[in-house]
């Protein structure tokens, strides 16, 4: 076998896809971030008839190129809820309006091998939109987000994803200095709302592209 690592991940992604589909998510597999963008633009988004689009500050979404492809398309109103040039109140208002968007796109902090999503939010706008509000939700998930079970997923979020996010955002938290969670009481704490999404209500409202590459934190 010339590429056992790729073969391993293809098998793993196919297994996770089946578990997610059994949990009422619609699931696609992409070989790369570029392919994920193509699947979203050619297969997933056109039948939705979405006009308004918002997002949850996802590195995975941006790194596929999909965010800018939609933002540059005049057929879509893209609410840029993370536009750093906007005052904080305006960003909050956009995040409130995002709950009424036709389509919300984001990543997930972790996904378990039995097909559940595990997320931890600072404000809650991202996990709220995954659960309720936008007509459609699209998650872009790199293979690095797959964890064996809920406990592993929560460990990953607290001791990898959150510290790296704090480092990226220049948060004044102990994890940004030490690289692991101190269950802090810092005003900059980004860990406030846990969610475990077991299934998609309604069937297929949440669509997931599993990507055979590492994406995001
Ligand atoms: S609780 Fe505080 S120290 Fe722990 S990961 Fe979150 S922000 Fe970092």
Look at residue 198 in the predicted model and tell me its pLDDT: 98
Closest protein CA for atom 5 of ligand 1:
181
Look at residue 179 in the predicted model and tell me its pLDDT: 94
Look at residue 109 in the predicted model and tell me its pLDDT: 98
Look at residue 121 in the predicted model and tell me its pLDDT: 97
Per-domain residue ranges of the chain: 4-155+194-211
Hey, which of 154, 157, 181 would you mutate to test ligand 1's pocket, going by the most ligand atoms within 8 Å of its Cβ? 181
Look at residue 51 in the predicted model and tell me its pLDDT: 97
Look at residue 1 in the predicted model and tell me its pLDDT: 87
142 lines ligand 1 (CB under 6 A): no
Low-confidence residues of the chain: pLDDT under 70:
none
Which atom of ligand 1 lies at the shortest distance from residue 191's CA?
A: 6
pLDDT digits (tens, 9 = 90+) for 42-100: 999 999 999 999 999 899 999 999 999 999 999 999 999 888 899 999 999 999 999 99
13 preceded by cis ω (within 30°)?
no
What pairing do the DSSP bridges indicate for beta strands 117-121 and 110-112?
antiparallel
- Give the residue from 172, 175, 174 showing the smallest Cα distance to 217: 175
Look at residue 204 in the predicted model and tell me its pLDDT: 96
Closest protein CA for atom 7 of ligand 1:
189
Q: Can you tell me which residue has the tokens 């998650």?
A: 139
Rounded Cα distance, 107 and 129, in Å = 12
CATH architecture for segment(s) 4-155+194-211:
3-Layer(aba) Sandwich (3.40)
174 lines ligand 1 (CB under 6 A): yes
**Segments in 64-123 forming alpha helices (H):** 66-71, 88-98
Q: Strand, coil or helix: what is 195?
A: strand
- Give the residue from 182, 116, 183 showing the smallest Cα distance to 150: 116
Which atom of ligand 1 lies at the shortest distance from residue 190's CA?
A: 7
């Amino acid at each position: 076998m010339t590429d056992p690592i790729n073969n391993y991940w293809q098998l793993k992604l196919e297994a996770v896809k089946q578990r997610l589909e059994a949990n009422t998510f619609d699931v696609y597999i992409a070989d790369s971030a570029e392919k994920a963008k193509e699947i979203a633009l050619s297969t997933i988004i056109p039948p939705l008839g979405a006009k308004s689009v918002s997002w949850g500050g996802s590195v995975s979404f941006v790194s596929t190129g999909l965010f800018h492809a939609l933002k540059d398309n005049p057929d879509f109103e893209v609410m840029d809820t993370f536009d750093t040039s906007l005052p904080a109140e305006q960003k909050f208002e956009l995040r409130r309006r995002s709950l009424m968007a036709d389509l919300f796109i984001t990543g997930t902090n972790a996904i378990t091998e039995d097909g559940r999503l595990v997320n931890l939010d600072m404000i809650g706008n991202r996990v709220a939109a995954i659960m309720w509000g936008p007509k459609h939700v699209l998650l872009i998930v790199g293979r690095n987000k797959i964890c064996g079970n809920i406990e592993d997923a929560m460990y990953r979020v607290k001791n990898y994803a959150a510290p790296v996010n704090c480092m990226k955002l220049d948060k004044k938290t102990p994890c940004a200095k030490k690289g692991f969670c101190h269950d802090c009481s810092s005003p900059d704490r980004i860990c406030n709302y846990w969610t475990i999404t077991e299934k998609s209500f309604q069937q297929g409202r949440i669509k997931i592209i599993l990507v055979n590459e590492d994406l995001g934190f």
